[in-house]
């Protein structure tokens, strides 16, 4: 099993029943820091493989550049960094079959092996596992389209709405991504992306999750929806910024939480295993 991109600060290894291999994508400073953190937290058999972010992104420079055009304020903005688009083209730069890609602001309260097992639930056409966005972010970003199409599912809440995605936890079937003609045509054709952004009156600023969200408006079958329990986002920013009346339709998660996501610098609660 492989885990990819970033090292969550919270101990995945505490709950893991299997040996892990961390693929860390970083610069030279990040190599030293991440290796030190993992070695202190993980068993000695844990593998650590470092990938140079500059070398890796250079291989897919053209694709990342066009993603920056559509899904960030600018290449110099926070979410304009190439790292925030790498998941989209990871199948072209890393020779693995499947990976779990994780943000750093996560805390696991369940065995990551159970998350990996969700790959077995993918349909024949599903290539990416991803959870819904827990706030009305895309209700807001698609507000022009929704205004012209009042009965649309676009930006509407679950379970029936096309809510949009949060990319803090990603299951990437890289082998299926390589083979998917539909998916690769989307990342290789700026004209196709431009047509989609114009159709849905969409301008993103949140990196890869904007791409996945926009693509899902036309190609739902490419995505396997992860239960909210595997990416329980704690940010409540939109509750206090114009969407209080509908906020809970997006935010409510009645499942037992397996992974907490402290996005927006939200505090993650102390778990039972941490108090022992």
pLDDT greater than 90 at residue 2: no
pLDDT higher for 240 or 8? 240
Residue 10 has a pLDDT of: 53
Percent of the chain at pLDDT above 90? Answer: 82
pTM: 0.94
Beta strands in the chain (DSSP E): 3-5, 21-26, 47-52, 98-102, 106-108, 128-132, 165-173, 223-226, 232-233, 259-261
Return the structure tokens found at 128. Answer: 């990416």
Of 272, 259, 274, nearest to 104 by C-alpha is 259
Residue 168 has a pLDDT of: 97
Enclosing H/E stretch for 42: none
pLDDT greater than 60 at residue 194: yes
Mean per-residue pLDDT over the chain, rounded: 93
Q: Let me know if 270 is exposed, middle or buried by CB neighbors in 10 A (0-12, 13-18, 19+).
A: exposed
Of 224, 270, 235, nearest to 133 by C-alpha is 235
Q: What is the mean pLDDT of residues 20-48?
A: 90
pLDDT greater than 80 at residue 76: no
Distance CA 261, CA 276 (A): 22
92-120 pLDDT, tens digit per residue, is 999 999 999 999 899 999 999 999 999 99
Residues in the chain: 276
132-176 pLDDT, tens digit per residue, is 999 999 999 999 999 999 999 999 999 999 999 999 999 999 999
Residue 273 pLDDT level (bands cut at 50, 70, 90): confident
């Amino acid at each position: 099993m492989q885990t990819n991109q970033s090292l969550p600060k919270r101990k995945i290894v505490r709950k893991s029943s299997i040996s892990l291999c961390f693929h860390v994508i970083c610069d030279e400073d990040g190599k030293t820091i991440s290796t030190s953190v993992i070695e202190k937290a993980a068993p000695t058999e844990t593998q650590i493989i470092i990938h140079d972010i500059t070398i890796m992104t250079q291989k897919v420079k053209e694709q990342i550049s066009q993603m920056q055009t559509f899904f960030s304020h600018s290449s110099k903005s926070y979410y304009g960094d190439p790292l925030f688009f790498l998941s989209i083209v990871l199948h072209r730069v890393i020779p693995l079959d499947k990976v779990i890609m994780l943000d750093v602001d996560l805390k696991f309260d369940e065995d990551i092996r159970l998350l990996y097992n969700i790959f077995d639930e993918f349909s024949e056409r599903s290539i990416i596992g991803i959870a819904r966005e827990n706030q009305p972010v895309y209700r807001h970003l698609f507000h022009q389209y929704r205004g012209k199409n009042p009965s649309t599912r676009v930006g509407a809440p679950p379970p029936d709405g096309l809510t949009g995605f949060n990319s803090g936890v990603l299951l990437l079937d890289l082998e299926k991504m390589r083979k998917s003609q539909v998916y690769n045509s989307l990342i290789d054709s700026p004209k196709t992306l431009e047509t989609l952004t114009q159709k849905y009156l969409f301008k993103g600023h949140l990196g890869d999750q904007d791409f996945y969200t926009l693509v899902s408006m036309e190609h739902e079958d490419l995505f396997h929806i992860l239960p909210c329990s595997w990416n329980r986002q704690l940010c409540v920013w939109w509750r206090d910024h114009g969407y209080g009346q509908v906020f809970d339709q997006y935010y409510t998660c009645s499942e037992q939480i397996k992974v907490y996501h402290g996005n927006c610098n939200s505090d993650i609660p102390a778990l039972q295993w941490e108090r022992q």
